Structure 1
Amino acid sequence: METKETTDCRFFTAGDVVLCCEPLVWVLDSSAYETRCAYCLQKSQELRTCSGCKLHRYCSVACQSADWKLEHKLECVLLKTATGRDIIAKLANKIKLNVMMDIPGMGRKSAKDLLSMLPVNPAQSEINRTVTPSHGMEELKAIGVPVTELLVYYGLVRYNGVPMHDALCHVTAPFGMALYPQAPLPRMTPVCWDVNVVLNFQGRRLLIHAVEDIPQYTGLEDLRYNDALDPFSQTREERRADFEKRYGYPCACRRCTPEYDAEINPLRCVTPGCMNPIPSDSRAHQPCSECGAINSARLAQFSQFIRQLHPNYSNI
């Protein structure tokens, strides 16, 4: 894990990379199996297929060899089944085999050690009540993992799993899921909108960028993030409902308070004579709902902000 937290610097400016980290386990979405390398996650039209499971595909011999040493030799048999494609199957297999990993800044740790860093899903009791072995867990039971442990793994992935994107979260659709044990997510503060950092990706590597100055940084709990929602296109009510459904409690960030409404001045449409107010929180870059006019200056500012975080993204 690379982070300024290991230095004397306690001041982040907008655009700084606060830290970056690699996943414990990851899995491609079923829609990406035919188009992406299972190791580097890059798109390719000439993917080499694993002769064992017939599922994993690679863009090069080097990627296939690297994945076999790091991951695939543990899971090739599991991946012959539909259940084996799931990230929970990969996690259960790695824990069962007591796989050791070298984690920067943490030394050599087992998968179980890393798993202990993650908080249990607040809705774990509900998962235990509603998820049964009929949810495709028989193959996992066959490798000796108790159902009770599988339910805990399910809760951890559901609570801490991060959708992988080609660019900044919320801008592109996710193509897979990853679990980052050495990432800051368990110690950061999830919010529905009032973020000071965003999640970005380079392949499967997770990057945390500051989007505003953080002058008094004392620890990861000072970082506010949103890893799974789409706040740019949602109303506050929609954001809060999605947040509570995901985390099991309502968001209490500043922009979810009634006091925030009193602080902001509604943006006005740029069309002369159009008095339709445009909410100035999540939809500040959207066209006017009455006449469809777009505030080009505001949209350009938003686009520049996105490109600073992900220079290769051009579809905005």
Structure 2
Amino acid sequence: MGSVDEISSAVNKLTIALENGEGKYTLGMNVLSAEPWVWTITWNHRRKVCAACFTIPSNIRRTNGPDLRACESCKTYAYCNTECQKMGWTSGHFMECELMRNMALHLEKKGLLVMDQDKSEMSYSTSMVYYVTSLVAKALNRLHSDEGTTRSSEVDDKTARDFYENVNDAPPINLSQSERTLIKELLQAAFDVATVTDILPEAELWKYYCRTRSNISQMVDKTSHLPYGIGLYFENGAMRRCCDNNVVQTFKGKTMVMKATKDLTLSSELRSPGLVQDLQPLPRKLRQRYYLAIYGKECDCRKCSDEYEAEINPMKCVTSGCNEVIPTDLRALQPCRKCGVKSDEERLLQARKTYEEFIRRYAETCDLNAQVSKSHKALARREAPLGLLRQLDTNELVHPENFLRYCCLYVLGITYYKIATNIVPDTASCFAYREAWKHLKPLTELMGKFECKYDQRALRILKDAGVAAMYSATAQLEEAVAVFKGPRTKETLPKSKGVRDASAVMEQGPRLLAIMAERHVALYGRSVPPVKPGKDRKGASKNRLRAVKGGRVK
């Protein structure tokens, strides 16, 4: 949490905004917007995002697309053109260039990355340490520019000084010895000093690190769904980090916009899942692990602490053919609401052990947060969640309406989606789009059961995969549209004999997308503009969402 002044400032902003909007925000409305004080581009996308205007070229989704113009010195930032490079240099990169270069060279020396390779990867833990440490280095460079321990700077920000003066308010974050060593080495390399004590006392340095990490947000592009940056936003100190959220973070460039996921009043507490929302749907045990690692404490919201609200891991009823959901808690010992038969305590304990084993295997094999840029690695990764999903569906105790099944479907759908968007449009990418849709489609049935409507990233990818499935595989066209159109919609779909007759489908594209947008309003309470053919980045286009005829559209 932030200091009293920070919280008061953020609350005042919200109060004024709410008063101007008649004291209430409804679902989908912007609550507030904020700019980062310091920020950095993620390593895997450093050549794909302009560090000045934050333009993301349409080919960012293709691993073999042309690069932007990289900074010759640090090689960590890239720019659209000379004008953007000059603007980035004068707006602050002149202070940070040497810091970023020194840290990247140190990681290269340790064998954690190769600077000359755009597809070099870092593990999730290493990348998070690198990003947060780079933010700390930039913050120290700006705060102590006149104290001789860092490079000279003319930047002075009173808000930031007040923010870091309250470092004792930072929650403790558990760091391994290897992570602490890497942080100290990166800072020593950044400022070219012998020890970190030449910068700050070590105890105070850890507080700086924890305070920074507790208030960062991950910038995610709403079109390509790629996390392209990390920023320090002071407004995060006024929010409560929890799974039971009422706002969600969206980004336009480096500007963070808070959107309401529920109706808010003047007395509403702002609750956001923070970085955890950018990971993936996770069982409660794994969510708590990430909250502890990122924010220094476990989530204590209703969905995590209440025994009856936390998480439904249901088992099947004892009666054969009865499809009633039986919770794996003390309610299982009560008569079934449908057939009246009670489950015994032995069956309850066995179901709990089964779920614990499945969750353990999911944690070991289905983590999407490791950086993967090559499609063949993603192809190999799909086997683990696929096998786990099959075992969940065939288990005698596990009920199909369980959150772990939702998580496996999400992992499989996103994995195939990444494969499709990292392959030049051909028959292989069409297959991947169809597989992505096949696994993402059941999410529409489970989202409402597990309060997952806030997962906007999943919804956007679901929509993209559905449109791509329509354009690339006409055999699944009726199946795709049936999920999105309401039961009262009397739309008929064009008959098609296969991929070679895809021109009829392309002509119906705008109408079908309008149906999907209409269905989106019914499900999630806000509209999505219908996408017009011929656009590049903003929807169903002739480039990334097109039918395939003979392997490639001419």
Q: TM-score, normalised by structure 2?
A: 0.45
Measured against aligned partners, the alpha-carbon deviations of 1:98-129 in whole angstroms (never above 9, x if no partner) come to 6546xxxxxx7364234447774321586899
276, 290, 296: which one pairs with 1:229?
A: 276
Q: Which residue of 2 aligns with 1:6?
A: 16
151, 154, 157: which one pairs with 2:209?
A: 154
Amino acid of the structure 1 residue aligned with 2:267: T
CA shift for structure 1 position 130:
7.3
Q: Take 2:89 and 2:170, find their aligned partners in 1: how far apart are those partners?
A: 31
CA shift for structure 1 position 261:
6.0
Q: Which residue of 2 aligns with 1:259?
A: 308
Q: Which residue of 1 aligns with 2:47?
A: 34
SS at match of 2:89: helix
Q: Which residue of 1 aligns with 2:241?
A: 190
SS at match of 1:251: coil
Q: Do the aligned residues in 2 keep the contact of 1:165 with 1:174 (CA within 8 Å)? A: yes
Q: Do the aligned residues in 1 keep the contact of 2:283 with 2:403 (CA within 8 Å)? A: no
CA shift for structure 1 position 187:
1.6
Alignment gaps of 5+ in structure 1: 102-107
Q: Structure 1 residues 253-262 or 202-211, which shifts more? A: 253-262
User: What number of residue pairs does the alignment pair up?
Assistant: 294
Q: Do the aligned residues in 2 keep the contact of 1:285 with 1:298 (CA within 8 Å)? A: no
Q: Take 1:204 and 1:223, find their aligned partners in 2: how far apart are those partners?
A: 21
Q: Structure 2 vs 1, CA of residues 118 and 47 (structure 1 numbering), >3 Å: closer, same or farther? A: farther
Measured against aligned partners, the alpha-carbon deviations of 1:58-108 in whole angstroms (never above 9, x if no partner) come to 11333222212221121222233125982222222111226546xxxxxx7
Amino acid of the structure 2 residue aligned with 1:139: A
SS at match of 2:303: helix
Q: Which residue of 1 aligns with 2:230?
A: 177
Matched, 1:212 2:282: no
Q: Do the aligned residues in 1 keep the contact of 2:250 with 2:259 (CA within 8 Å)? A: yes
Q: Do the aligned residues in 2 keep the contact of 1:37 with 1:58 (CA within 8 Å)? A: yes
69, 74, 85: which one pairs with 1:53?
A: 74
Q: Structure 2 vs 1, CA of residues 294 and 126 (structure 1 numbering), >3 Å: closer, same or farther? A: closer
Q: Take 2:32 and 2:24, find their aligned partners in 1: how far apart are those partners?
A: 13
Q: Take 2:525 and 2:404, find their aligned partners in 1: how far apart are those partners?
A: 20
Comparing both structures, which one devotes a greater share of its residues to helix?
A: 2
Q: Structure 2 vs 1, CA of residues 226 and 313 (structure 1 numbering), >3 Å: closer, same or farther? A: farther
Q: Structure 2 vs 1, CA of residues 29 and 62 (structure 1 numbering), >3 Å: closer, same or farther? A: same
Q: Structure 2 vs 1, CA of residues 283 and 223 (structure 1 numbering), >3 Å: closer, same or farther? A: farther
Matched, 1:145 2:199: yes
Q: Which residue of 2 aligns with 1:79?
A: 100
Q: Take 1:188 and 1:146, find their aligned partners in 2: how far apart are those partners?
A: 29
Q: Do the aligned residues in 2 keep the contact of 1:29 with 1:176 (CA within 8 Å)? A: yes
163, 170, 181: which one pairs with 1:121?
A: 170
Q: Do the aligned residues in 2 keep the contact of 1:209 with 1:309 (CA within 8 Å)? A: no
Q: Take 1:203 and 1:282, find their aligned partners in 2: how far apart are those partners?
A: 34
Matched, 1:64 2:113: no
Q: Do the aligned residues in 2 keep the contact of 1:161 with 1:177 (CA within 8 Å)? A: yes
Q: Take 2:74 and 2:441, find their aligned partners in 1: how far apart are those partners?
A: 50
Structure label with greater radius of gyration? 2
Q: Take 1:46 and 1:286, find their aligned partners in 2: how far apart are those partners?
A: 33
Measured against aligned partners, the alpha-carbon deviations of 1:175-197 in whole angstroms (never above 9, x if no partner) come to 2211112x2x1121111x21111
Q: Do the aligned residues in 2 keep the contact of 1:119 with 1:186 (CA within 8 Å)? A: no
Measured against aligned partners, the alpha-carbon deviations of 1:205-227 in whole angstroms (never above 9, x if no partner) come to 1111100112x3236xx011101
Q: Which residue of 2 aligns with 1:239?
A: 287
CA shift for structure 1 position 313:
7.2
CA shift for structure 1 position 51:
4.2
Q: Take 1:95 and 1:198, find their aligned partners in 2: how far apart are those partners?
A: 30
CA shift for structure 1 position 246:
2.8
Q: Do the aligned residues in 1 keep the contact of 2:47 with 2:70 (CA within 8 Å)? A: no
Q: Take 2:262 and 2:447, find their aligned partners in 1: how far apart are those partners?
A: 18
Q: Take 1:87 and 1:210, find their aligned partners in 2: how far apart are those partners?
A: 28
Q: Take 1:152 and 1:29, find their aligned partners in 2: how far apart are those partners?
A: 23
SS at match of 1:208: strand
CA shift for structure 1 position 280:
7.0
Q: Take 1:140 and 1:28, find their aligned partners in 2: how far apart are those partners?
A: 17
SS at match of 1:135: helix
Q: Take 2:96 and 2:439, find their aligned partners in 1: how far apart are those partners?
A: 51
Q: TM-score, normalised by structure 1?
A: 0.73
Q: Take 1:306 and 1:94, find their aligned partners in 2: how far apart are those partners?
A: 43
CA shift for structure 1 position 165:
0.9
Q: Do the aligned residues in 1 keep the contact of 2:49 with 2:79 (CA within 8 Å)? A: yes
Amino acid of the structure 1 residue aligned with 2:200: P
Q: Take 1:265 and 1:34, find their aligned partners in 2: how far apart are those partners?
A: 43
Identical aligned residues as a percent: 25
Q: Structure 2 vs 1, CA of residues 265 and 46 (structure 1 numbering), >3 Å: closer, same or farther? A: closer
Q: Structure 2 vs 1, CA of residues 227 and 110 (structure 1 numbering), >3 Å: closer, same or farther? A: closer
Matched, 1:131 2:163: no
Matched, 1:278 2:401: yes
CA shift for structure 1 position 293:
9.8
Q: Structure 2 vs 1, CA of residues 3 and 308 (structure 1 numbering), >3 Å: closer, same or farther? A: farther
Q: Do the aligned residues in 1 keep the contact of 2:47 with 2:69 (CA within 8 Å)? A: no
Q: Structure 2 vs 1, CA of residues 204 and 299 (structure 1 numbering), >3 Å: closer, same or farther? A: farther
SS at match of 2:275: coil
Q: Take 1:111 and 1:177, find their aligned partners in 2: how far apart are those partners?
A: 17
Q: Structure 2 vs 1, CA of residues 82 and 255 (structure 1 numbering), >3 Å: closer, same or farther? A: same
